[in-house]
Amino acid sequence: MKTVDIDGVTIEVADDAVAEKLIAKRQEAKEQIRNQAAELATIREKLAAIDKEKADQLEAEKVKSLTEKKKFDEALATVKSSTETKLKTLAESFLHAELKSKVASNPEIVPSAVEDVVSLIRGACTFDLDAKVVRVMDGSSPKIGDDGQPVNVDTFIANTLAARPHFRKATATTGSGGASGAGGTQVGQTPSQEAFLAMSPTQRAASLKKT
């Protein structure tokens, strides 16, 4: 039996041909999921636009009615509540756009893994509308690094990639730190997904024997 790393999970397979098929199937499944997510997002946007139009109309009618009845405090509270909801939605939209841009600009990441990484780290981040920056959070407070300072998002992304080699591109190794295999994979290390796919069948078989 041989072993292969697929998305950080080590799986035993009969040979390198099976490993290649597993990786290809996983990539195909990811692509299908991304396409379905994009289609669902489009449908949600259309429904949200319809709901927003109706909600805006109802809100306007409610504020008008309260104003005519001179219930100014209630009218103001209604507008404030609506504004807070809109700002929260806007912050979520800004957060996703900023994280996607920063993750995609990291030179180590495999392009097809950008959305996967964004989804992975999004829950730990928030967008500060006043400062117009992404903040890495630890619960309700900023996450503090070993240096006693708030962790910036670029460092957080780099640490996330460092802990998940299957999201990173293969890099060539130099120096006397050990021999390198195909695609810059260090001997004794599990090759990244990209490095494995770049190998010839013979190199893949050799790589699997060493992991």
The full set of domain ranges for the chain reads 1-53+183-211, 88-169
Residues 37-47, mean pLDDT to the nearest whole number: 82
Helices 16-68 and 201-210: crossing angle, nearest 10°?
80
Q: Distance between CA atoms of 115 and 122, rounded to whole angstroms?
A: 10
- Evaluate if residue 116 carries a pLDDT over 70: yes
Give the per-residue pLDDT at 26. Answer: 78
Would you state the structure tokens that stand for residue 14, as one six-digit string?
A: 């009969």
Contact 73, 66 (CB under 8 A): no
Would you state the structure tokens that stand for residue 194, as one six-digit string?
A: 């990209």
pTM: 0.52
DSSP class of residue 184? G
Q: Distance between CA atoms of 6 and 208, rounded to whole angstroms?
A: 12
Give the per-residue pLDDT at 101. Answer: 94
User: pLDDT tier at 200 (50, 70, 90 boundaries)?
Assistant: low
Residues 103-119, mean pLDDT to the nearest whole number: 92
- Evaluate if residue 111 carries a pLDDT over 50: yes
Residue 108's identity, in one-letter code, is E
DSSP class of residue 192? P
- Tens digits of residue pLDDT in 145-185: 989 999 999 999 999 999 988 888 875 544 444 444 444 44
Give the per-residue pLDDT at 152. Answer: 93
Report the percent of the chain where pLDDT is more than 90.
28
- Evaluate if residue 130 carries a pLDDT over 70: yes
